[in-house]
Chain A
Amino acid sequence: QVQLQESGPGLVKPSETLSLTCTVSDGSISGYYWSWIRQSPGKGLEWIGFVYYTGSTNYNPSLKSRVTISVDTSKNQFSLRLNSVTAADTAVYHCARRGSTSSPDGAYFYYGMDVWGQGTTVTVSS
């Protein structure tokens, strides 16, 4: 069963860049869509964006101007960069895989995340 593990600094200063990496183990990053999702304290989940293993991306329009999600297939990793952070970006950040099933026409990617990392807490504070 594929497993995901987030890593990166737990503390980031305001106006700086938040950088996280998700390592995919017991499975390949190729052939799938990968996502970042966050949960701010006391709030619900917020989708940040997707990256396909080829590098193509989709972002939450509310974060698009500050977000970059990239993939490194050689390392079986994908990454999140969020620029110009503020206290509002304090959250638990999860990486996840977009789920898929097999169909006669090939893989069907549904709009749900079937594998998640435990999450990593990032605090924005000086």
Chain B
Amino acid sequence: QSALTQPRSVSGSAGQSVTISCTGTSIDVGGYDYVSWYQHHPGKAPKLIIYDVTNRPSGVPDRFSGSKSGKTASLTISGLQAEDEADYYCCSYAGTYLYLVFGGGTRLTV
């Protein structure tokens, strides 16, 4: 069982918006603003799309945005495109013992 809880799947139509949640505890998501999100097309290398809750690396479209409230972080993808269909994982810093924990992943269907 993963440390962070994500819905197993979400879906949306092209052009719509979807939000993926990532729920943790006070020692990970709730304790630090160090949540990152990854897009993973099976068989390929995962891609970082959000770090430190809200920041996008260079080259990531602004259709991808991140936020956090309490122990739950969220990834919102607006203007869905077919190529957004992938698995999405959240990850959080969890202190000097656990260090880094991932969510179980969410399959996005467009």
Contacts and interface: CB of A to CB of B under 8 A. Distances in A.
Interface string B48-83: 101110010100000000000000000000000000
B36 A112 contact: yes
Interface residues of A, number: 22
A117 B45 CA distance: 6
Contacts, number: 67
**A interface, over-half SS:** strand
B5 to A, nearest CB: 11
Contacts of A118: 44-45
Interface of A: 43-47, 50, 58-61, 94, 96, 99, 110-114, 116-119
A45 B36 contact: no
A82 B38 CA distance: 25
A111 to B, nearest CB: 4
